[in-house]
Amino acid sequence: MPDRFDQHAVRHRMKLLRSDGDVTLYANRDDVPCPACGEAFGRILLTERREHSFDLADADRLCVAREPDRLVVCTHD
């Protein structure tokens, strides 16, 4: 896996759901692989916040990848 998930390289394969500066949320439209496990994710959250809470009502599995300046969280359906 690469050291950093490059959302700009796969932006055309995802749908932007929310972006507020330090938190970005995308839906996967084209089987983009999870940076933690390599399987296609459902949604990916990129956050630069130190703390973050998650509502996981519709996720079967959660993967987390730590990068130097952000946290990458993927949900799997």
Instruction: Give Dmax over CA atoms of the chain in angstroms.
Output: 30
Q: What is the pLDDT of residues 11-66, one digit of tens each?
A: 999 999 999 988 999 999 999 999 999 999 999 999 998 887 877 777 688 999 99
User: What is the spatial distance between Cα 77 and Cα 71, in angstroms, rounded to a whole number?
Assistant: 20
Measured in residues, the chain has a length of 77
E strand map for 1-77: 14-19, 23-28, 43-47, 61-67, 70-76
pTM surpassing 0.85?
A: yes
Domain residues of the chain, as ranges?
A: 11-76
